[in-house]
Chain A
């Protein structure tokens, strides 16, 4: 393998469990680090979200107010606001520091499943079981655009690094790329088989998308050419919308949860599984990587209900 340009293949240092954060009363649906790495947020079917300190695992704040369980959350770029997407058909904006509800965004007509801020954090995008993707103005809470995105529930939405594109995925088997400023569809990614797409996100440079499908597969696609470049398998994913992410702080890896209760780490280029993190007692449905430190956070479903933090230190 002529990969002279990459960093020398040093022995992979395994991750170990550092903190176990319990407190949520039902399944965890999503975990995310803030962009500055000082906070970790978790969302749960128990209708609440929490923020924790990644360094000592202490609970910092609770966010209560949704009428139904929360499926996803996102930090604004400056980590001052938290957005949550809930089965109560609303997206809510919270003041991170005080825990108070600032705004409720109504418009979706079914469960809101996924949410993300754009890098400028003046816009939010949300995907719902009502098969649409909505773009919202953070300041006024107005719905700026309703995109007729899919013909089945929308499972993930994500902005690229300069906020010009939105990618969405759905159970209808498609991933679509949208121009964020006009709301026009730019591209639809389709393969010969189209299993339900459970997850999608842009790579750090915005050139590729990582796509998870309910046939136990993750793929890295170049959306401009419409061809996939890498395939990652070995995990179990046929029922839940499990999120995955890129780990770039110490080598390049793909990290994801799995229905066999483990967290999988694949080397980005070779696609080899370098580690399986065990410890959760139910499906690991969400993972997040710290922006600067070698730290992974994970959240699992109802039998487990914990958020775990893993690090590489001894």
Chain B
């Protein structure tokens, strides 16, 4: 990253506290774009919203009048041009992100619980869908045709998973949804079935190339690859998250499989796929909470694959477990007492985003302690007090030996002001593809009354105290800041912040004009007590006016 040389490496790489929360209707599921600059969220009312993650404001709304059912999953195309949303009314909707328009809509036989666009291209033509109670399928986005994928080995039946012994924790029906995901470039689909088998499938030929049996033979609920494609995570009904190492080459995995395939003609069907399977994945680690025996929800990797997170599926609690890849539990994040619905780790930063049952999106970040040595470079931060012993002549004045500042810089050395280094975090960028990293921000015009307010001089003070505060009342627009303890400048805006502090998190609608007028009055009164360093000119004149008023009595 650009500022890599000056970032303090001592700060931990995983989040610790809720920094902010986003509010817009009731959000159900979320997905970051490739660089984490935009966050898409699907809502309970069938609409989707794209957040500008840098400003924590809404960049675009994808309003869908045809869809009134809750969005069950949301997914970006590789370079951010498309968003695919699946909904509880059995529909799949494909959006053009830049235009904010619907490209197409397809209705399936069953509600899709998860829909993933093919990850290999910027305008994918197919997607992988996991319906609520049938096998995963490939859906052609142009024609709407569906191709069901096998969920068990060819010789065990007709392609449908047999009734499983392992029921879901809520005791639901035998036909259980299977988990499925594309590998990094989308040439293979990995399907996890109810017998705890991972099937590696060539989706173009609808053929099972390899199979791996997960220990415990329990229903596989989720499967996801790390961003690099090097690791695969499975979440099973036996309350265990497992990490597999992907042994295939990241690009052209299918080709490598075909090559292994051709070398094993002497083996019969099942033996062959099992052997090939063992060359594709190898079990790396298992994670579980042996004390609470909690079921996991929405597990995934951090952007760099160094950390694994999983949400607790227990009702009424919002807990996020963080493990390092070696399996050590490093942190449990605990949020407000609302069930956790979805979870995502930012592709680049140590930030985690979680969705609660109430529809709020919580942003978890590192608990930042101010790096004071950044403010004064010749100061060094110490962990503990150190005893300092002065030299005898430490403070003697020695005019003759005063240092002459000699520049040890050779100013003739060439300086390159133009060359930009490639960002190593995104080494898989296809340079020819244009990536959507942000959406044009059009300033929302001020209401005419607000413009007038800024013209008069007395209301300027009020405005500066009110809208200047990061904890502004105009709720629903930008994220609501939660942890302000590290903001050193609170003092200046405190008078306004204190008054509204108790209610700011609850306010959902823009206050009425009457309320705003009253606020202006309140702030004007409290501003007379503000420190002289603020608004010097106007402050002084208010003081003078009130003195004159007193004298006149």
Contacts and interface: CB of A to CB of B under 8 A. Distances in A.
Interface in B345-401: 349, 368, 370-371, 374-378
B378 A190 contact: yes
Contacts of B450: 104
Interface stretch (A36-44, A157-165, A236-244): A157-165
Nearest to B419: A205
B468 interface: yes
Contacts of A224: 5-6
B2 A206 contact: yes
B378 A139 contact: no
B163 interface: no
Interface stretch (B42-50, B320-328, B408-416): B408-416
A162 B2 contact: yes
User: Which of B1, B368, B415, B472: most chain A Cβ within 10 A?
Assistant: B415
Interface in A182-241: 182, 184-190, 192, 203-208, 220, 223-224, 226-231
Contact of B6 (A5, A143, A205, A223): A223
Given A120-B437, A122-B54, A231 B470 contact: no
Contacts of A163: 54
User: Which of B55, B56, B371, B463: most chain A Cβ within 10 A?
Assistant: B55
Contacts of A144: 55-56, 470, 478
A208 B54 contact: no
A96 to B, nearest CB: 12
A143 B67 CA distance: 35
B444 A205 contact: no
Nearest to B457: A67
User: Which of B414, B455, B467: most chain A Cβ within 10 A?
Assistant: B414
Given A109-B535, A188-B377, A140 B477 contact: yes
A116 B281 CA distance: 51
Given A138-B443, A186-B374, A246 B478 contact: no
B547 interface: no
A68 B484 CA distance: 34
A122 B37 CA distance: 11
Interface in A109-137: 109-110, 120-123, 130, 132, 134, 137
A160 B420 CA distance: 12
A89 B374 CA distance: 29
Contacts of A228: 409
B379 to A, nearest CB: 10
B440 interface: yes
A271 interface: yes
B413 A229 contact: yes
Contacts of B368: 182, 184
Interface string B457-493: 0001001100111101010011000000001110011
Interface residues of A, number: 82
B405 A220 contact: no
B460 A142 contact: no
A104 B452 CA distance: 10
Contacts of B420: 161, 205-206
Contact of A205 (B411, B418, B445, B487): B418
B441 interface: yes
User: Which of B411, B419, B451, B469: most chain A Cβ within 10 A?
Assistant: B411
A179 B467 CA distance: 23
B275 to A, nearest CB: 47
A173 B390 CA distance: 29
B534 interface: yes
A64 interface: no
B444 A141 contact: yes
User: Which of A1, A103, A165, A220: most chain B Cβ within 10 A?
Assistant: A103
B415 A139 contact: no
A86 B45 CA distance: 44
A136 to B, nearest CB: 9
Contacts of A142: 55, 57, 467, 470, 472, 474, 477-478
User: Which of B438, B445, B454: most chain A Cβ within 10 A?
Assistant: B454
A271 B411 contact: yes
A6 B54 contact: no
A181 B366 CA distance: 13
B460 A145 contact: no
B7 interface: yes
B553 interface: no
Contacts of B439: 122
B57 A140 contact: yes
Contact of A146 (B405, B412, B468): B468
Nearest to A121: B441
A181 B470 CA distance: 15
B442 interface: yes
21 contacts: A3-B414, A6-B414, A81-B443, A102-B443, A104-B450, A122-B52, A139-B52, A139-B442, A165-B2, A177-B3, A179-B7, A182-B368, A184-B368, A185-B374, A185-B375, A186-B374, A190-B378, A204-B417, A206-B2, A206-B420, A229-B413
Interchain residue pairs A-B with the least CB separation, the first 7: A107-B468, A122-B441, A203-B417, A224-B5, A137-B55, A106-B463, A120-B438
Interface of A: 1, 3, 5-6, 67, 78, 80-81, 88-90, 93, 101-104, 106-110, 120-123, 130, 132, 134, 137-148, 160-165, 176-177, 179-182, 184-190, 192, 203-208, 220, 223-224, 226-231, 246, 248, 252, 268-271
